Amino acid sequence: MKVALATGRKAEGMVKDAVRTANAARITCEVLTQDLNIAAFSTPKSLKRALDKYGESKKLDCNLILVSGFCKADFSDLEEEIATPIRLGPRHAYDIGEALQFVEETEFSSHTPADVFLAAKRKENAKQQLYELESGVKETFSLKRVKIGGGARMKVCAELVDATLMQEDELQRMTEHYLKSGADILDIGVHIGAKPAEVKKAVETALAFAPDVPISIDTLDADIIRAGVENGVDMVLSLNSENISEVGEAIASNNVAAVVIPDSDEAQKSNESLFANLKMAEEYGIKRIIADPVLNTIGYGIAESLYNYYLFRLQDKTTPLFFGVGNVTELMDADSVGINATLAGIASELSADILFTPECSDKARGSVRELRVASEMMMLSKARKSAPKDVGFDLLTFKEKRRKPVMQIHDGELITAKKNEKWRLDPKGCFRIAIGEVEGDGKSDKKICAQHSPTGKRIIGRSAQEIMDTILRLNLVSRLEHVSYLSRELTKAELALRLNRSYEQDGALF
Strands 446-453 and 430-437: antiparallel
Side-chain-side CA neighbours of residue 450 (13 Å): 30
255 pLDDT more than 70: yes
List phi, psi (to 5°) of 80. Answer: -70, -40
Cβ contact 92:59 at 8 Å: no
Give the SS3 label for residue 354: strand
Output 509 or 375, whichever has higher pLDDT: 375
Q: What are residue 319's DSSP bridge partners? A: none
Instruction: Give the span between the Cα atoms of 183 and 438, in whole angstroms.
Output: 24
Residue 376: closest CA among 395, 401, 402: 395
- Closest to 252 in 3D by CA, of 221, 225, 217: 225
Distance CA(204)–CA(196), nearest Å, equals 12
**What pLDDT does residue 406 have?**
77
- Tens-digit pLDDT profile for residues 91-104: 998 889 889 988 88
Give the helix ranges, DSSP H, for 136-266: 168-181, 196-209, 222-230, 244-253
Per-residue confidence at 326, pLDDT binned at 50, 70, 90? very high
| Residues 6+ positions from 435 with CB-CB distance below 8 Å | 446, 447, 448, 449, 493, 496, 497, 502, 503
**CB atoms near residue 378 (< 10 Å):** 23
> Which stretches of 206-359 are assigned E, i.e. beta strand?
215-218, 235-239, 257-260, 289-291, 322-323, 354-358
pLDDT in tens, 35-80: 999 999 999 999 999 998 887 777 778 999 999 999 999 999 999 9
pLDDT, tens digit, for every residue of 222-238?
999 999 999 999 999 99
Residue 63 buriedness (CB in 10 A; 0-12 / 13-18 / 19+)? middle
Contacts of 357 by beta carbon, 8 Å cutoff, 6+ apart: 156, 157, 158, 159, 324, 325, 326, 329, 340, 364, 367, 368, 371
Q: Tell me the pLDDT band of 415, cut-offs 50, 70 and 90.
A: confident
What span, in angstroms and rounded, lies between the C-alpha atoms of 67 and 408?
24
Cα dihedral 454, 458, 463, 466 in deg (nearest 10): -80
Angle (CA) 235-240-246 rounded to 5° is 80
pLDDT above 90: percentage of residues in the chain:
79
Residue 103, C-beta contacts closer than 8 angstroms, at least 6 positions apart: 1, 3, 24, 27, 64, 66
Of 5, 286, 276, 259, the C-alpha closest to 149 is: 259
- Residue 341 contacts residue 348 (beta carbons within 8 Å): no
Residue 414 pLDDT greater than 90, yes or no? no
Which residue type does 24 have?
A
Summarize the confidence of residues 156-179 as an average pLDDT. Answer: 95
* Dihedral over Cα of 354, 358, 364, 370: its sign: positive
What is the predicted pLDDT for the residue at 442? 52
Query: How many percent of the chain have pLDDT more than 70?
Result: 98
Residues 330-352 pLDDT 10s: 999 999 999 999 999 999 999 99
Q: How far is CA 132 from CA 137, 163, 238, in A?
A: 9, 35, 32
Does pLDDT of 440 surpass 70?
no
Report all structural domains of the chain as residue ranges with CATH numbers, in order of start: 2-126 (3.40.50), 148-384 (3.20.20.20), 412-510 (no CATH)
**Angstrom distance (rounded) from CA 468 to CA 484:** 10
Q: What is the pTM of this model?
A: 0.85
Q: Does 444 have pLDDT greater than 80?
A: no
